[in-house]
Chains A and B, each alone.
Chain A
Amino acid sequence: MILSVRDLSVSFGDVRIVDGVSFGVARGRTLGVVGESGSGKSVTALSVLGLHRRATVAGSIELDGEELVGAPAERLRRLRGSAVSMIFQDPLSSLHPFFTVGEQIAEAYRLHRRTGRRVARERAVEMLAEVGIPEPRRRAGEHPHRFSGGMRQRVMIAMALACEPGVLIADEPTTALDVTVQAQILDLIARIQRDRGLAVVLITHDLGVVARMADDVLVMYGGRTVEHAPAREIFKRPLHPYTRALLDSVPGADPGRARLRAIAGAPPSLLAPPPGCRFHPRCPAALDVCATTRPPLAGEPHRVACHLEGADH
């Protein structure tokens, strides 16, 4: 496991956003992290990069054998971009509007590799070519606003991978893109991952994207892991009622059905999370114990946090 997260908890003041999440990703593998807004999936990812200055982080995050929780800020700054990189949903807000894309890729490279400007510039052109941008030498001299959404995401990927990190964290990388462009970007990520043996953590709300890309899937709800299993397993035999409900609520799962199977209610507030299992107020099969006791995450390799599974029905 190049990245190994154990019992991670992230709190802002008294509010616990992530509560005891564990996972590992090996080289060349993709972990899909699925959840709705407020499930804690993005906060989990940002903690890996140590990007939460005001948060209290507990547990362990090991990157290539090195503990990141409690590591000095300067060390984390070195690792970001060179050992672990991140791409975001909205590439335009992550690119500086005043500098050319070539300058921005080169800057990151120069800082980490301590090379000269000329070498860094060549590297930028090389990376733009690798991510499939036509005429990379000319385009390197252009500013971000000259690029389409899909091309900007390619630029972000080029920048993230210029220093050859072992881990890429992709937070909703295609959510803002059209489907035909999404297909291109997913293909690109898959190809680069194959070529470089990259470990990818793919955060998304789109179960279709997960099915296409992930080897393993972690489903988060209300800051906790509810299910964690190999992708084929989880789609074929979802064990947690929430995972099942999510898969059932996708339109087209069963064409011709008049109504979608919606999940009643709304995701929980983390300011006042429900006691016991956080899904119990919306769960169609909840028992008394679900309202009082937190279900443990159990099973191997298909891990699920549900009292119903323990009772074996």
Chain B
Amino acid sequence: MLSVRDLRMTFPVRRGQRVRAVDGVSFDVPEGQALGLVGESGCGKSTTGRMIVRLLEPTGGTVTFDGQDITHLGPRALLPMRGRLQMIFQDPYASLNPRHTVRQIVAGPRRTVDRDGVVELLRLVGLDAEHADRYPHEFSGGQAQRIGIARALASRPRLVVCDEPVSALDVSIQAQIVNLLADLRADLGLGYLFIAHDLSVVRHMCETVAVMYLGRIVETGSSATVYADPAHPYTRTLLSAVPVPDPEVEAARERIVLHGDPPSPLAPPPGCAFHPRCPKARSLCRTEPPVLTTVRGRQVSCHFPEE
């Protein structure tokens, strides 16, 4: 359904410098499937999501949706695609117009949905008909996110890009929204591109996962494979860094603690971008950029993948 090939985004910064935010990313999201895009801040995961819904125009590569190349479509040509390709944002308040009622928000600027349709959508996301005439500030964070989801569903999308949809919510509310997204997917056959820094949410939601570091995918494969047996040292580090809610496990577990911060995309290190922080880097890693190759049933971009 969605096919992304060698996608690139460079932004101009000061003094003629250019920053490569996304640097050659490829993946597919088949009909009704969920792909999780994980990585730390600045890795390019949100930029990738924004290019796919064409809030940004890529500077390289292609985005194909439903067999049509939408990489460089103009605003008018994009309109028919917009309905089928929707997005849910991290901050529900910031993404809802505070001066519009829930009805206006869900119905959309072109009133594609009538009164009954709005009520039906609100029920679908667990809100009531009486909520339709209220304003966003009258809702809690979890409810506001439900409104954002209802708005995204109004145009009957087939793929929804979810950019950190639960990370601004309280723990007890996160689970509600995760369940809602899972139910909607089962009922409506939606596909998701699920962007998150929370590895456990992605494991729960997505069949496939792609781990990004400094604008590139460093490991991708089925979630079951990647989580059980990560092959890239960065994936391994990320997984070991997430604290588990069990003090006995925490006390016993071996943790890989990286030194230093993620490098600046303005001056990416030569060779493998992860080598300055990699506990296993050798001289080849400093000079030669690795490419994605198949190792034990997943693709990994590392000269010396973990055994």
Given A207-B171, A261-B175, answer yes or no on A184-B257 (Cβ-Cβ < 8 Å).
yes
* With A250-B245, A252-B200: A262-B255 Cβ-Cβ less than 8 Å: no
A232 is an interface residue with CB less than 8 A from chain B? yes
- For residue A251, which residues in chain B have a CB less than 8 angstroms away from its CB? 175, 178, 198, 200-201, 203-204
Q: Is A271 an interface residue (CB 8 A)?
A: no
Q: How far is the CB of B240 from chain A (nearest CB, A)?
A: 8
Interface of B (DSSP majority class): helix
| Nearest CB on B from A284, distance (A) | 13
The reply to whether the CB of A93 lies closer than 8 angstroms to some CB of chain B is: no
Instruction: Say yes or no: is B266 at the interface (Cβ < 8 Å to chain A).
Output: no
Min C-beta distance of B50 to chain A, whole Å: 20
Q: Report Cα–Cα, A54/B303, bound state, in Å.
A: 60
Which of A100-108, A209-217, A290-298 forms contacts with chain B?
A209-217
Q: Which of A150, A211, A231 contacts B243 (CB 8 A)?
A: A211
Interface membership of A267, Cβ < 8 A:
yes
CB pair B203–A255 under 8 Å, yes or no, is yes
Asked whether, in the complex, the Cβ of B204 is within 8 Å of the Cβ of A151, the reply is: no
Given contacts A210-B245, A262-B179, are A267 and B200 in contact (CB under 8 A)?
no
CB neighbours of B291 from chain A (8 A): none
Asked if residues A231 and B40 are in contact (CB atoms below 8 Å), the reply is no
Chain A residues whose C-beta falls within 8 Å of the C-beta of B182 in the assembled complex: 258-259
Give the interface residue-count category, chain B.
35 or more
Q: Which of B162-196 contact A (CB under 8 A)?
A: 170-176, 178-179, 182
- Tell yes or no: B142 within 8 A of A by CB: yes
Kindly name the residue among A180, A212, A251, A252 whose own CB sees the greatest number of chain B CB atoms within 10 A: A180
CB distance from B302 to the nearest CB of A (A): 17
Q: Given the complex of chains A and B, what is the CA–CA distance between A267 and B258 in angstroms?
A: 37
**How far apart sit A232 and B251, CA to CA, in the bound complex (Å)?**
11
With the chains together, A219 CA to B255 CA distance in Å? 27
Contacts of A150 in B (CB 8 A): 261
B262 adjacent to chain A (CB < 8 Å)? yes
For window 188-225 of A, CB contacts with B under 8 Å fall at: 205-212, 214
Contact status B175-A36, CB under 8 Å: no
- Is A51 an interface position by the 8 A CB rule? no
**Which residues of chain B come closer than 8 Å to A111, judged between CB atoms?**
none
Q: Is A285 an interface residue (CB 8 A)?
A: no
Q: Which residues from chain A contact B175 at a C-beta distance below 8 Å?
A: 249-251, 260-263
Bound Cα distance from A246 to B245, whole angstroms: 10
Q: Are A263 and B200 in contact (CB under 8 A)?
A: no
CA distance A246 to B255 in the complex (A): 25
Nearest CB of chain B from residue A136's CB, rounded to whole Å: 15
Cα of A264 to Cα of B248 in the assembled complex, Å = 29
**Min CB–CB distance A22 → chain B (angstroms):** 23
From B171, B174, B238, residue with most partner A Cβ within 10 Å: B171
Cα of A250 to Cα of B140 in the assembled complex, Å: 20
Contact: B172 with A249, CB < 8 Å? yes
Given contacts A260-B178, A263-B175, whether A232 and B238 have CB atoms under 8 Å apart is: no
Q: How far is the CA of A127 from the CA of B14 in the complex (A)?
A: 34
- Contact of B203 with A148 in the complex, beta carbons under 8 Å: no
**B172 and A178 form a contact (CB under 8 A):** no
What distance in Å separates the Cβ of B253 from its nearest Cβ neighbour in chain A?
9
A266 at the interface (CB under 8 A from B): yes
Question: Is A26 positioned at the interface, with any CB of B under 8 Å from its CB?
Answer: no
Contact with B172, one of A186, A212, A235, A245 (Cβ below 8 angstroms):
A245
Residues of chain A contacted by B142 (CB below 8 angstroms):
266
Does B54 sit within 8 A of A, measured CB to CB? no
Cross-chain contact B238 with A180 (CB below 8 angstroms): yes
Q: Which of chain B's residues has its CB closest to A252's CB?
A: B200
Does A247 reach chain B (CB closer than 8 Å)? yes
Provide the bound-state CA to CA distance between A263 and B55, in Å. Answer: 35
In the bound complex, residues from chain B placing their C-beta under 8 Å from that of A247 are 245
Please state if A260 and B204 are interface contacts (CB–CB under 8 Å). Answer: yes
The answer to whether residues A263 and B172 also contact, given A212-B243, A251-B178 and a CB cut-off of 8 A, is: yes
Name the interface residues of A250-283: CB closer than 8 Å to any CB of B: 250-253, 255, 258-264, 266-267
| Chain B nearest Cβ from A199, distance in angstroms | 19
Q: Which of A178, A184, A267 has the most CB of B within 10 A?
A: A178
- Is A92 an interface residue, CB under 8 A from the partner? no
Q: Jot down 17 A-B pairs with beta carbons below 8 A, ordered by A.
A: A36-B171, A36-B172, A179-B40, A179-B199, A179-B242, A183-B240, A186-B243, A208-B250, A211-B249, A211-B250, A235-B247, A247-B245, A251-B203, A253-B245, A255-B203, A258-B182, A267-B172
Residues in chain B within 8 A of chain A (CB atoms) = 40-41, 140, 142-143, 170-176, 178-179, 182, 197-201, 203-204, 237-238, 240-250, 255, 257-258, 261-262
The 9 A-B pairs of least Cβ separation, nearest first, read: A208-B243, A262-B175, A249-B175, A178-B40, A252-B200, A207-B245, A251-B204, A260-B175, A36-B170
